[in-house]
Structure 1
Amino acid sequence: MKSNYSLPLWTILSLLGVIFILSPAQVGSAQDDDRLPATEEMHVIIVAGDKETPTHIPAPFSAAEIATRSQAPEAVPININYNPASCGGPISAWPAAARTAFEYAVDIWSLLFESGVIISIDACWRQDSTGALGWAGPSDYYRNFNGAVPNRWYPVALANQITGGDLNAGTAEISANFDATQTWYFGIDGQTPSSQFDLVSVALHEIGHGLGVSGSMRFDDGTGSNECNGGIFGTGCYGWSNSAMIYDGFLENGAGQNLILTYGNNTGALGTQLISNDLYFNGPATTAANNNNPAKIFAPNPFNPGSSISHLDDATFSGTFHALMTPTISSGESNHYPGAVALGILDDMGWGVMDFSHVYVDSQASGVEHGTQADPFDTLIEGYQAAGNYGVIHMAAGSYAEAFLLQRPLTIQSTGGSVIIGN
């Protein structure tokens, strides 16, 4: 377990379905810069759901294994700053058990990337009155750095991973907030009582938004602050300073039309798409993780600020192994793994992802070994050690003169041809 963790601060609030977006005036001096400071209004929240049969998705490894693996050199170092001055508002001291749960969630995330520079998280235990369970996001966004897609905003944690540097000069990459007044379950075993909310799951969810599972698409409701230029009801818009988020570039409709390439910014045509219930994230890693189909994104009518567009579709993915990044969590529910689809989204955006639900082995492999389809392990025992609970080990045809004791639920299958295991 590492004490001190941080992730990108552009997470849209998903709990109450409330999202706050910076107006052009609020962006201020960042408009002519390649750094976009985030505010709490840009966070993504998660809200309480009412699923009749809550899901229980286990962590990829036992708690003991996670503790050991998170200290290994290949784990991404994540630091946590509890209740720093940046939290603001009324805060309470973090209960010791809450810290344990949060650090467990951080340790899980630290295992899921191939390599990386330090990530820091500002973790705030807030007294909130909105009803949200948690809200988080990147602290900054950067664009046009070495290795970036031109004119796309990246959450700072991802920008740092791509550059191998520290663009934000030692400040936290992610700001994560949790409502201290909720009825929380602080255990790490996933056995969440029906009357409590699982803190590990909510922490995993919000960290996922801080890492980049969130976009900038918004819908103008015609009242109050102008979500889009002009404040006209039904207008759809995205981005700041003429740049969309890296996440936004993968969004398309059911006809396969990319939203940014097909529909103009600040238009009614884009607004119609944002409430169509027919939007998808289409990237190679995401589609591969979703049975070779783009992943459906939450895009209800009416638009749900803070939730729409920045989550996996609730009706499609709730109750599955991909439930963590849906917009709601019910009491009694526990999801201790992001799922292959959410990891695919992060991979498509530029993270080097380690997905323990699918591990690849080829006895003829050589060179770099990550257990991925492109860089498989060359021994079955390595695949077994890497695969998580209920994972799948995909084995290339050949002979594997190995013996091992199978001690957790998983599937071993051939990618084609005969596989011989044992002497």
Structure 2
Amino acid sequence: MTRPHLILTLACLFCVSSAMADSVFSPVYLDGALEGFNSNDAPHAASTADGNPGTTLGEQRRWAFERALEYWELRLDSNVVIEVAAEMNDLSCSFSGAVLGSAGPDWAYADWVPSAGGSSPAFANTVYPSALANRLANRDLDVDYPDIGATFNKQIDESDGCLFQTSWYYALGEAPSGTISFFATALHEIGHGIGFLTFVDKASGSRLWEMDDIYMKFLLDHSTGKLWPDMTDSERAASATDPSDLHWVGPNVMAALGPLTGGVSDGHAHMYAPETLEGGSSVSHWDTAIEDSNGNHELMEPSATGSEKLLITGELLQDIGWNDVPANDCNFASYRLTLSSLYSGTNEHNACVSVTYDGALIYEGDTTATAGREVVLKNGFTVEQGATFRVQTDPNIGL
């Protein structure tokens, strides 16, 4: 289930904009009437049961997508709204594999003139993705176009031959068997849109506008000892297919590698560079070996793993020019935690988005529930006399 990125230029033929008041992100939906994000088909029952309030399939899709935008909004600061154009189309899919989605910046900029409170780029003659360039410049460098384009595979819902009757799951919980988390996929694709990608043509090694881009400045080929800006086009093309030797050497990432148990060598994090070039996936993802001691993989690996977390992506975003990112202190594979057991002693139940107690009995000690968005107590939940049950929500705990 690969998730490549594309650099998109999207025309708004039928746009439905959904306002998110005082938000960093603003979604624009490009699907036609009654299709994709505007579908009036019956909602997915599992997603409804697990908290998605949408009364149609289109409403469920928009709700899940906007929760992903809200999640990134908690981690990024920008005085300029990031407009995200989104649609659902038929992408590649078979019984055994599928492209879940694709996304990327709609535009790129170099050597801009900042407005008051903004800054010139840290590197001259260097290409930056639209959302990041706008943030640094403190103004919208092109008000007529979205900053990010994102497309998701509607065949996953609509074709029995796609991943053998797999469907999207539109709630925030852990995706049930036979489904794929739309929320997690949207998080990944938005990550590409805000700058987790290179503009280099990886087959030829040629640079956009014959300039470095901000992402490639931190790519080092360990086998040659060269950074990508110091390479020829042919050397960059060779480096894009040099497994385990293509490394990220940004200072923020290098300082955060301690908890990782895989995908790291020589104080560097490995990038995805398989021997056979994978167009949208190679270079613009972490290596699949990136892992921590709890078995969590990186959100920005090329394929969905079901055990994803932001381990070092926040630090990569800092390296290219985004703001500091809150600490990674919860596993997003467990952002919805369903409990149906007896608990004794002192307990802590933490989740990125919500903690749901489904008929759980808490007893013989204190219990604290911490979630980024909500704590839900379902019918049957009880606390034994003498026990203390504490609840706290903190939107900054995030991935």
TM category (shorter chain) comes to 0.5 to 0.7
Which shows bigger deviation, 254-263 or 293-302? 254-263
- CA pair 253-15 structure 1, distance change in 2 beyond 3 A: same
Aligned residue among 283, 296, 300 for 1:325: 300
Letter of the structure 2 residue corresponding to residue 77 of structure 1: V
Match of 2:322 in 1: 351
Q: Using the TM superposition, give the Cα deviation of residue 120 of structure 1 relative to its aligned residue in structure 2, in angstroms.
A: 0.8
1:254 matched to 2:222? The reply is yes
- CA pair 190-238 structure 1, distance change in 2 beyond 3 A: farther
Deviations 1:116-158 (A, max 9, x none): 3211111102133453110111110000124211111111000
- CA pair 84-153 structure 1, distance change in 2 beyond 3 A: farther
- Whether contact under 8 Å (1:340, 1:355) holds in the other structure is no
Q: Using the TM superposition, give the Cα deviation of residue 356 of structure 1 relative to its aligned residue in structure 2, in angstroms.
A: 3.1
| Structure 1 portions without partners, runs of 5+ | 1-13, 22-37, 41-69, 221-227, 229-236, 360-387, 391-404, 411-423
Match of 1:77 in 2: 24
1:185 matched to 2:168? The reply is yes
- CA pair 107-132 structure 1, distance change in 2 beyond 3 A: same
Q: Distance in 1 between matches of 2:67 and 2:296?
A: 19
Match of 1:96 in 2: 59
Match of 1:295 in 2: 269
Q: Using the TM superposition, give the Cα deviation of residue 307 of structure 1 relative to its aligned residue in structure 2, in angstroms.
A: 0.5
Larger RCO of the pair (alpha carbons < 8 Å, separation 6+) = 1
- Whether contact under 8 Å (1:186, 1:199) holds in the other structure is yes
- CA pair 20-116 structure 1, distance change in 2 beyond 3 A: closer
Match of 2:45 in 1: none
- Whether contact under 8 Å (2:82, 2:131) holds in the other structure is yes
Give the length in aligned residue pairs.
Answer: 282
Match of 2:212 in 1: 244
Aligned residue among 108, 122, 142 for 1:168: 142
Q: Using the TM superposition, give the Cα deviation of residue 409 of structure 1 relative to its aligned residue in structure 2, in angstroms.
A: 8.9
Aligned residue among 110, 119, 123 for 2:73: 110
- Whether contact under 8 Å (1:254, 1:280) holds in the other structure is yes
For 1:180-219, what aligned pairs fall within 5 Å after superposition? 180-182=154-156, 183-219=166-202
Q: Using the TM superposition, give the Cα deviation of residue 358 of structure 1 relative to its aligned residue in structure 2, in angstroms.
A: 6.5
Deviations 1:364-399 (A, max 9, x none): xxxxxxxxxxxxxxxxxxxxxxxx858xxxxxxxxx
Letter of the structure 1 residue corresponding to residue 138 of structure 2: G
Q: Using the TM superposition, give the Cα deviation of residue 189 of structure 1 relative to its aligned residue in structure 2, in angstroms.
A: 3.2
Letter of the structure 1 residue corresponding to residue 299 of structure 2: L
- CA pair 16-188 structure 1, distance change in 2 beyond 3 A: closer
Letter of the structure 1 residue corresponding to residue 238 of structure 2: T
The structure richer in strand per residue is 2
- CA pair 288-409 structure 1, distance change in 2 beyond 3 A: farther
Q: Using the TM superposition, give the Cα deviation of residue 98 of structure 1 relative to its aligned residue in structure 2, in angstroms.
A: 1.3
The structure richer in helix per residue is 1
Deviations 1:238-260 (A, max 9, x none): 31221122101100022583433
- CA pair 259-218 structure 1, distance change in 2 beyond 3 A: farther
- Whether contact under 8 Å (1:92, 1:180) holds in the other structure is no
Match of 1:315 in 2: 289
Letter of the structure 2 residue corresponding to residue 328 of structure 1: S
- CA pair 91-99 structure 1, distance change in 2 beyond 3 A: closer
TM value normalised by structure 2: 0.63
Q: RMSD of the TM alignment (CA)? A: 3.2
Match of 2:110 in 1: 143
Q: Distance in 1 between matches of 2:3 and 2:134?
A: 31
Q: Using the TM superposition, give the Cα deviation of residue 186 of structure 1 relative to its aligned residue in structure 2, in angstroms.
A: 3.0
| Structure 2 portions without partners, runs of 5+ | 11-19, 40-57, 114-119, 157-165, 260-266, 331-349, 353-366, 373-399
Match of 2:339 in 1: none
SS in structure 1 opposite 2:184? helix
Match of 2:236 in 1: 270
Aligned residue among 295, 298, 312 for 1:341: 312
- CA pair 321-285 structure 1, distance change in 2 beyond 3 A: farther
Q: Using the TM superposition, give the Cα deviation of residue 311 of structure 1 relative to its aligned residue in structure 2, in angstroms.
A: 0.2
SS in structure 2 opposite 1:299? coil
SS in structure 2 opposite 1:101? helix
TM value normalised by structure 1: 0.60
Aligned residue among 124, 143, 167 for 2:87: 124
Letter of the structure 2 residue corresponding to residue 287 of structure 1: M
SS in structure 1 opposite 2:276? coil
